[in-house]
Structure 1
Amino acid sequence: MKNVKQIASIGLVALFIGSSFSCEAKPKLKTTIDPETTIIAQAITDDKKPEKNVVKIALLLDTSNSMDGLINQAKAQLWDIVNKFSYVKCGNETRPELQIALYEYGNSSLEAKDGYIRQVINFSGDLDEISEKLFSLTTNGGDEYCGEVINTSIKDLDWGKNPDNLKLIFIAGNEPFNQGKLDYKDATVNAKEKGIVVNTIFCGNYNQGVNSYWQNGAQLTNGEYIAIDHNKRVIHIDTPYDEVIIKLNKKLNTTYVSYGSLGNSKMELQSVQDEKASEMEEAVMVKRAVSKSSRLYNNASWDLVDASKNKNFSVSKIDKKQLPKELQSKSTKEIEDYIKSKKQERVTIQQQIKEANTKREAFITKNQKEGSKGELENAMLSAIVKQAATKNYSWDK
């Protein structure tokens, strides 16, 4: 009977520890002894709160002359990736944050002393700013040094110390992977030491990518090697719900209440990125609108509605000169009521966008031909889902 109780104790402890801390920083443990079973067990102490889990993705894009198609796919499909992550959860049911960094390499307009490499944006969760930086990319002929850009992103970016963070590099290009002074094998060793998975996307023939070391570059960190047709035009399916979502997006924008030194410029950036998406294609604007209705589109640094979700937020702490003119003469209570009404309005609109998008996705699934999705989108999402599973991530949609 005593042995049975010992086994049960071990099982319960293992189950508790395993199920409670998936996708989180490892908790501090304290050794205790069960006087009944004399089995040493480990109980969790509360003296250190686990870090919030973050998905970190660095995109390393070749911007040499031949890569216009790749850049266009990246612009169009940023929102597919964001929308995918809006539904991700850890094994303990928490929702991780998403941060994206962007580098360009292989562009002759960049500095030769820097290896023709430029950090376009550091890790950021500001989706409007990420979109802005993607749309700023232009192509120009140059030398593509894959090992060097991988190593630069590992060295310069803050990847965090939480071992359960999902840390991914996606590097895309079409020249041999072994060019440059820094050996790609050394770069991938550095990545593996930091728990970073390197995924390689060769823009061209599959076997050509294998022969030019792109596959080997991925294999060294257990990443995915994918070959894509970067010049393939993405076929978007028009649906009866597109115009509904676009109209709702315009209403959504009216729920933002700017404040602070960034307020006006950030609100303008939001509008400009809507226009950029619309200029590409109506479907891209629809996907962006869906992203704006998700938990990942958070603008607490300049929007009072998002800022008010913070438990330490207080209207009284804000200089009224940094509020919109129509609010500067209002009392604190009136401003609070205004924010509350905008918050309720936003929740309603976002829910309407989600409901329309559910119908839109069902329509697309029914009418989409095989292989009509974007090449870059397919490559990244398949790798992300596979590698997220190793960290106990899952999707509820």
Structure 2
Amino acid sequence: MKKNILIGLSLLTLSIGYVEASRLATKEIAGLRTEIQLEDKLHPVKPKKQYVKIALLLDTSNSMDGLINQAKSQLWDIVNEFSYAKCGNGSTPELQIALYEYGNDDLTAQEGYIRQVLPFSNDLDEISEKLFSLTTNGGEEYCGAVINTSLKQLDWGKNPDDLKLVFIAGNEPFTQGRTNYKDAVLQAKEKDVVINTIFCGNYAQGISTKWKDGAQLSGGDYMAIDHNAEQIYVATPYDKIIIELNTKLNNTYVAYGATGTTRLDKQRLQDNNAYEMEAEVAVSRAVSKSSKLYKNSSWDLVDAVEEDADAIEEIAPEALPAPLKGKSKKEIKAYVSQKKSERAKIQAEIQKTNAKREAYLAQHQKENTKGELENALLKAIKKQAAKKELNWK
């Protein structure tokens, strides 16, 4: 009996010890968890990439041909400006552009005469292609509705460090349509999306038709432009050199996959579209193609390897371009490495030549000769980018 009592006491002691140890362990774990949570709040881990997401909402009614032409011709200057942007950690931000058209009779009434032309994309050739596909036709311009649609359809993400901007341009009252523009703009503010308005016409008229109010409600900027103004270009001795270098640059692309050849053709088509606008637009596009913002890893093997060192190991033999079919992995790697080296050299030469071109323009170009749309966009972007630790220093 005495033996049983001793065993019972021993078991009880062990149980109490176990419970106490468990309690202390639980308390210690809770304490560690609290410390980790506090550390996360004080020193949050930031995502590796910081995005600049810009949605362009363009009125494509009858009177907007000038606006569309400005967008086509000034896209590359805007992209080039972004190549100088830096995040707080010194890296280059990832630029994504989405495109909507509204106010065009060719669009369906059920959708509010609104069409998503392109979701967020960093494919500069595709952005250019979609801009050049736009045509104008009379219609009803519903600003509140197109803002609301872009907020719902686009992937804005939840990173508070991203710069998220809407630029809506048009020339009819901001109040048109059943969707109240105030509701749409306030919804944007809740998503940390800033609405910037560009009225195509008289500054005072834009204010009276609520374009300024639409911007201010979300902390954005209101601007008025002459959408029919023609940009004044100044030819330089370096334009021809850059265009010739661009031709050499195109020869460094190694198209692969089912869409490779088609995408290579589209690249050259967008070169031609730019050149047909103005030779200077083609120069600006060539400069963009020499920057880090111009990426084509989905169809160019050089960019694919830059993004993923194992890309050649993973590619199927049938996806290879004709010059590489039947080649060994070693031979393919050597070929791609050679093209990469050629590209880097040409891109550096374009950048070097463009620096001389910029110096020439600084001496011979009058002030404020940048395009109206370009000026409006860059002024607002740089002002609002400062709040996200993005700068152009």
Q: Same fold (TM over 0.5)?
A: yes
2:303 matched residue in structure 1: 306
Amino acid at match of 2:158: K
User: 1:215/1:261 Cα in 2 relative to 1: closer, same or farther (>3 Å)?
Assistant: same
Match status 1:369 vs 2:366: yes
Match of 2:129 in 1: 132
> Cα–Cα, structure 1 residues 30 and 226, in superposed 2: closer, same or farther, change >3 Å?
farther
Alpha-carbon displacement from aligned partner over 1:313-336 (angstroms, at most 9, x marks no partner): 231321122111111021110110
Contact 1:147/1:184 (8 A) holds in 2: yes
Match of 2:107 among 102, 106, 110: 110
Matched, 1:380 2:377: yes
Q: Which residue of 1 aligns with 2:248?
A: 251
Matched residues in 2 for 1:355 and 1:79: separation?
Answer: 18
Where does 1:287-306 land on structure 2 (aligned, <5 Å)?
Answer: 287-306=284-303
User: Which of these residues, 65, 70, 73, is aligned with residue 68 of structure 1?
Assistant: 65
Matching residue within 342, 347, 358 for 2:339: 342
1:229 offset after TM fit, Å? Answer: 0.3
Secondary structure of the corresponding residue to residue 200 of structure 1: strand
Partner of 1:10: none
CA distance in 2, matches of 1:280, 1:358: 23
Displacement of 1:367 in angstroms is 1.2
Partner of 2:189: helix, strand, or coil?
A: helix
Q: Distance in 2 between matches of 1:189 and 1:49?
A: 27
Distance 2:306 2:292 in 1: 12
Length-normalised TM-score, structure 2: 0.89
Identical positions, percent: 63
Q: Aligned partners of 1:41 and 1:167: how far apart in 2? A: 28
Matches within 5 A, 1:266-305: 266-305=263-302
1:241 to 238, 243, 258: 238
Counterpart for residue 152 of structure 1: 149
Distance verdict in 2 for CA 1:31–1:80, change over 3 Å: farther
Q: Which amino acid aligns with 2:202?
A: N
Among 35, 48, 52, the residue aligned to 2:49? 52
Q: Which deviates more, 72-81 or 42-51?
A: 42-51
The two structures, once aligned, show a CA RMSD in angstroms of 1.9
Which residue of structure 2 lines up, in the alignment, with residue 4 of structure 1? none
Deviation of the 1:47 alpha carbon = 11
Aligned 8 A contact 2:304 2:311 in 1: no
Contact 2:156–2:164 (CA<8 Å) still a contact in 1? yes
CA gap 1:142/1:393 in 2 versus in 1, 3 angstroms: same
Counterpart among 74, 77, 82 of residue 79 in structure 2: 82
Does structure 1 residue 101 correspond to structure 2 residue 78?
Answer: no
- Give the secondary structure class of the aligned counterpart of 1:394: coil
1:321 has 2:322 as partner: no
Deviations 1:351-377 (A, max 9, x none): 000001111111111111123210000
Alpha-carbon distance in structure 2 between the residues aligned to 1:271 and 1:257: 14
Deviations 1:175-200 (A, max 9, x none): 00000000100000110000000000
The yes-or-no answer on 1:394 pairing with 2:391 is yes
Deviations 1:241-286 (CA, angstroms, capped at 9, x unpaired): 0000000000000000011111011101001000000011000000
Q: d(CA) in 2 for partners of 1:319 and 1:370?
A: 53
* Equivalent-residue separation in structure 2 for 1:276 and 1:387 (angstroms): 31
Alignment of 1:354 with 2:351, yes or no, is yes
TM-score w.r.t. length of structure 1: 0.88
1:31 deviation in Å? Answer: 5.8
| Inter-partner Cα distance in structure 2 for 1:56 and 1:314 | 28
What one-letter code is carried by the residue in structure 2 that aligns with 1:367?
Answer: H
| Structure 1 residue 49, shift from structure 2 partner | 6.6
